[in-house]
Amino acid sequence: MATHMTSDIGDQNGPRKSDRWIPWYFVGGFAIMLIANISLITFSMTSWNGLVTKHAFEEGNNYNAAISGAARQAELGWRSKLSVDGVINQNATVTVLLRDKESNPISGAKMSVVLTRQDRDDLDQTIAMAEIAPGEYRASASFPVYGRWQVRTIAHAMGDDYQTVEHVVVNP
Protein backbone atom coordinates (compact mmCIF):
# COMPACT_ATOMS: atom_id res chain seq x y z
CA MET A 1 0.00 0.00 0.00
CA ALA A 2 1.66 3.11 -1.14
CA THR A 3 0.62 6.52 -0.18
CA HIS A 4 1.45 9.52 -2.18
CA MET A 5 2.44 12.62 -0.20
CA THR A 6 2.16 16.07 -1.59
CA SER A 7 4.31 18.94 -0.48
CA ASP A 8 3.82 22.68 -0.46
CA ILE A 9 7.53 23.22 -0.91
CA GLY A 10 7.51 22.76 -4.61
CA ASP A 11 9.96 20.92 -6.79
CA GLN A 12 12.50 19.17 -4.54
CA ASN A 13 15.02 18.78 -7.34
CA GLY A 14 15.64 22.48 -8.15
CA PRO A 15 16.73 25.46 -6.05
CA ARG A 16 14.18 27.28 -3.98
CA LYS A 17 13.25 30.86 -4.84
CA SER A 18 14.92 32.17 -1.68
CA ASP A 19 18.21 30.44 -2.55
CA ARG A 20 19.02 32.97 -5.24
CA TRP A 21 19.48 35.64 -2.52
CA ILE A 22 22.26 33.77 -0.67
CA PRO A 23 25.17 35.27 -2.71
CA TRP A 24 23.70 38.74 -2.14
CA TYR A 25 23.77 38.16 1.62
CA PHE A 26 27.54 37.80 1.37
CA VAL A 27 27.81 40.91 -0.82
CA GLY A 28 25.68 42.86 1.68
CA GLY A 29 27.77 41.65 4.63
CA PHE A 30 31.00 42.71 2.95
CA ALA A 31 29.43 46.06 1.97
CA ILE A 32 28.48 46.72 5.61
CA MET A 33 32.00 45.79 6.72
CA LEU A 34 33.52 48.07 4.06
CA ILE A 35 31.32 51.01 5.09
CA ALA A 36 32.23 50.48 8.76
CA ASN A 37 35.95 50.34 7.96
CA ILE A 38 35.81 53.46 5.77
CA SER A 39 33.93 55.29 8.54
CA LEU A 40 36.50 54.30 11.17
CA ILE A 41 39.45 55.22 8.93
CA THR A 42 37.89 58.61 8.18
CA PHE A 43 37.26 59.26 11.87
CA SER A 44 40.81 58.28 12.81
CA MET A 45 42.31 60.54 10.14
CA THR A 46 40.23 63.59 11.10
CA SER A 47 40.28 63.32 14.90
CA TRP A 48 43.08 63.99 17.40
CA ASN A 49 46.35 62.56 16.13
CA GLY A 50 47.73 61.73 19.57
CA LEU A 51 50.84 63.93 19.33
CA VAL A 52 51.76 65.62 22.59
CA THR A 53 54.61 67.65 21.12
CA LYS A 54 55.66 68.59 17.62
CA HIS A 55 59.38 68.23 18.35
CA ALA A 56 59.64 64.96 20.23
CA PHE A 57 63.13 64.10 18.98
CA GLU A 58 64.65 67.43 20.02
CA GLU A 59 62.88 67.36 23.38
CA GLY A 60 64.11 63.82 23.96
CA ASN A 61 67.67 64.91 23.24
CA ASN A 62 67.29 67.81 25.70
CA TYR A 63 65.79 65.68 28.47
CA ASN A 64 68.78 66.11 30.79
CA ALA A 65 68.42 69.89 30.49
CA ALA A 66 64.73 69.54 31.40
CA ILE A 67 65.62 67.48 34.47
CA SER A 68 68.21 70.02 35.62
CA GLY A 69 65.72 72.85 34.99
CA ALA A 70 63.13 71.08 37.16
CA ALA A 71 65.73 70.64 39.90
CA ARG A 72 66.65 74.35 39.68
CA GLN A 73 62.96 75.30 39.87
CA ALA A 74 62.49 73.17 42.99
CA GLU A 75 65.60 74.76 44.49
CA LEU A 76 64.21 78.27 43.90
CA GLY A 77 60.99 77.44 45.73
CA TRP A 78 58.87 79.77 43.62
CA ARG A 79 55.10 79.28 43.77
CA SER A 80 52.23 80.47 41.67
CA LYS A 81 48.49 80.64 42.09
CA LEU A 82 46.30 80.52 39.00
CA SER A 83 42.69 81.66 38.78
CA VAL A 84 40.27 81.82 35.87
CA ASP A 85 37.41 84.16 36.73
CA GLY A 86 34.58 86.11 35.16
CA VAL A 87 33.58 83.73 32.38
CA ILE A 88 31.20 85.64 30.13
CA ASN A 89 30.45 84.51 26.56
CA GLN A 90 33.42 82.11 26.64
CA ASN A 91 35.84 84.90 27.62
CA ALA A 92 37.51 85.00 31.02
CA THR A 93 40.21 86.71 33.01
CA VAL A 94 43.29 84.64 33.80
CA THR A 95 45.26 85.81 36.84
CA VAL A 96 48.56 84.40 38.10
CA LEU A 97 50.17 85.37 41.41
CA LEU A 98 53.92 84.64 41.43
CA ARG A 99 55.83 84.43 44.74
CA ASP A 100 59.34 83.48 45.79
CA LYS A 101 60.42 81.13 48.59
CA GLU A 102 59.70 83.77 51.27
CA SER A 103 56.27 84.61 49.75
CA ASN A 104 57.52 87.93 48.34
CA PRO A 105 56.01 88.96 45.00
CA ILE A 106 58.22 88.43 41.96
CA SER A 107 58.00 91.52 39.77
CA GLY A 108 59.20 92.12 36.25
CA ALA A 109 58.68 88.58 35.03
CA LYS A 110 58.03 87.85 31.39
CA MET A 111 55.02 85.57 31.73
CA SER A 112 52.66 83.71 29.45
CA VAL A 113 50.06 81.00 29.78
CA VAL A 114 49.47 78.20 27.29
CA LEU A 115 45.86 77.01 27.14
CA THR A 116 45.34 73.51 25.76
CA ARG A 117 42.63 70.89 25.57
CA GLN A 118 43.43 67.18 25.81
CA ASP A 119 41.03 66.29 23.02
CA ARG A 120 41.58 69.10 20.51
CA ASP A 121 44.86 70.68 19.53
CA ASP A 122 43.20 73.17 17.17
CA LEU A 123 42.15 75.25 20.22
CA ASP A 124 45.66 75.63 21.73
CA GLN A 125 46.67 79.22 22.38
CA THR A 126 49.50 81.12 24.06
CA ILE A 127 48.61 84.34 25.87
CA ALA A 128 51.09 86.94 27.13
CA MET A 129 50.41 88.14 30.67
CA ALA A 130 50.73 91.75 31.84
CA GLU A 131 51.85 92.70 35.34
CA ILE A 132 49.12 94.76 37.00
CA ALA A 133 50.58 94.80 40.52
CA PRO A 134 53.81 93.47 42.05
CA GLY A 135 53.75 89.73 41.43
CA GLU A 136 50.24 89.77 39.92
CA TYR A 137 49.88 89.03 36.21
CA ARG A 138 46.63 89.15 34.26
CA ALA A 139 45.29 88.63 30.76
CA SER A 140 42.00 88.10 29.01
CA ALA A 141 41.54 84.71 27.39
CA SER A 142 39.03 83.11 25.09
CA PHE A 143 37.74 79.62 25.89
CA PRO A 144 35.95 78.48 22.70
CA VAL A 145 34.50 75.42 24.46
CA TYR A 146 33.56 74.87 28.06
CA GLY A 147 35.07 72.06 30.07
CA ARG A 148 38.49 70.99 31.31
CA TRP A 149 41.50 72.99 30.14
CA GLN A 150 45.19 72.51 30.83
CA VAL A 151 46.94 75.77 31.69
CA ARG A 152 50.74 75.87 31.54
CA THR A 153 52.19 78.95 33.24
CA ILE A 154 55.62 79.95 31.92
CA ALA A 155 57.65 82.72 33.55
CA HIS A 156 61.16 84.09 33.17
CA ALA A 157 62.35 86.39 35.96
CA MET A 158 65.66 87.31 37.56
CA GLY A 159 67.53 85.08 35.11
CA ASP A 160 65.57 81.96 36.03
CA ASP A 161 62.71 80.06 34.45
CA TYR A 162 59.55 78.79 36.11
CA GLN A 163 56.70 76.73 34.77
CA THR A 164 53.82 74.77 36.14
CA VAL A 165 50.82 72.93 34.74
CA GLU A 166 47.35 73.10 36.24
CA HIS A 167 43.93 71.96 35.11
CA VAL A 168 40.88 74.20 35.34
CA VAL A 169 37.26 73.58 34.49
CA VAL A 170 35.59 76.43 32.64
CA ASN A 171 31.83 76.48 33.16
CA PRO A 172 29.26 78.78 31.57
Strand ranges for the chain from DSSP E: 79-88, 91-99, 110-116, 125-128, 130-133, 136-142, 147-157, 160-170
Q: How confident is the model at residue 97 (pLDDT cuts 50, 70, 90)?
A: very high
DSSP assigned state of 135: T
Express each pLDDT in 53-78 by its tens digit: 788 888 888 889 889 989 999 999 99
CB 141 within 8 A of CB 128: no
Amino acid at 65: A
Give the bridge partners for 8, in sequence order.
none
Express each pLDDT in 42-55 by its tens digit: 998 888 777 777 88
What pTM value is reported for the model?
Answer: 0.67
Other CB atoms within 10 Å distance of the CB of residue 149:
20
Strand pairing class (110-116; 125-128): antiparallel
- pLDDT score of 29: 96
Q: What does the mean pLDDT of the chain come to?
A: 89
Q: How confident is the model at residue 171 (pLDDT cuts 50, 70, 90)?
A: confident
